[in-house]
Amino acid sequence: MADKSRPRKLSVYLYIPNIIGYIRVLMNCIAFALCFSNKKLFSILYFISFVCDGLDGWCARKFNQVSTFGAVLDMVTDRISTACLLVILSQVYKPGLIFLSLLALDIASHWLQMYSTFLLGKASHKDVKDSTNWLFKAYYGNRMFMAYCCVACEVLYIILFLLAENQNENMMDVLMNSAKQSSLLSFLLALSLFGWAIKQAVNIIQVKTAADVCVLYDINRKQRP
């Protein structure tokens, strides 16, 4: 008997936002393959891939092609691409532990948030309306604010990668010298650092909030008769 679900599964894989997701993966693969031989091309491809992160969401809503697979593909692509860039930065700058710590925080916060969302039976990890933290609610409740923080974070990492001329650079020295040379770059760094700081604060809040959900879930389960 033929599997009647196969055409339906294929149609989900061929959703426009999911195709954009595949293109993002391909661009990231090419970008990281060229990251040390052609920094400018890497930065362009990486940033275009990041911009497509917003485009696929818009297409999903526009064409009514929202899917769980697409949401997972989107998040996994985001996390892996950011993780790879942070690993590269950890090899370029000292102390590299800073970037590895940021990587650990990023993965931990999103993984815990996704798992806590599953425990609460919510449809999206962005549903934080019941949170008591104003910054957490503002981040996920305002699409433009969240977009600014995410873009600022990625732009800062790209700038840091472009500014590094050798391995084992001192990050603070590179930032200070670059800011002195250009007022435009100084402004861009300040704007990016502000958004980056907010995103890291949200990640920390997210770890604590999601951990509390997991603990309360265990407590409530043990109290059931």
Q: Which residues are catalytic?
A: 78
Helix (H, G, I), strand (E, B) or coil at 93: strand
Burial 171-200 (b: 16+ CB within 10 A, else e): beebbeebeeeeeeeeebbeebeebbebbb
167, exposed or middle or buried, with CB in 10 Å at 0-12, 13-18, 19+?
exposed
Distance, first Cα to last Cα, the chain: 46
Which residues are CB-contacts of 113 (< 8 A; sequence separation ≥ 6)?
125, 206, 209, 210
